[in-house]
Copies of this chain bind each other. A is one copy, B any other.
Amino acid sequence: MDHHFALHSRLEADTAFIADWALSRVLLMNDARYPWVILVPRRAGLSELHDLSHAERLVLTEEIARASGKLKALTGCAKINVGALGNMVPQLHVHVIARNPGDAAWPGPVWGNGTAEPYAPQSLTNACETFRVSL
């Protein structure tokens, strides 16, 4: 535990809580256009993957692989996109997104493409529960 960890306000505003794994807070992006999960290592002051300790990076890697494999199994998507960008939100966070031909941004990246379509409140709750059980 890192008691100095606090989720960036932009991530707080744009996502809903799914679960805390060993290292990462697992969030659902509130954008119904794509099944879209974000992993945020619960350590203060991280910006780049190379800022993590070796041991923590190995944990994060397995958490990314878990989210990736489970999201693919859950959605039957054509491709998983994984990205750690941070050009706008400097706190280290990793996107894991289910992509399909014909989705709103295919075959381009989802970031910066169009406008998020928030879930209806009950749908957001349901989606978080589905992801909590399935990932």
Enumerate chain A interface residues (CB-CB to B < 8 A): 47-50, 52, 54, 57-58, 61-62, 64-66, 68-69, 72, 79-88, 90, 99, 106-109, 111-112
Contacts and interface: CB of A to CB of B under 8 A. Distances in A.
A109 B86 CA distance: 10
As for how many copies of this chain the complex holds, the number is: 2
Chain A contact surface mostly: mixed
B81 A82 contact: no
Contacts of A64: 49
A42 to B, nearest CB: 19
A99 to B, nearest CB: 6
Contacts of A72: 48, 50
A38 to B, nearest CB: 14
Contacts of A48: 68-69, 72, 79-80
A64 to B, nearest CB: 6
Contacts of A54: 62
Contact of A109 (B65, B68, B99, B109): B109
B109 A83 contact: yes
A127 B68 CA distance: 34
A126 B112 CA distance: 33
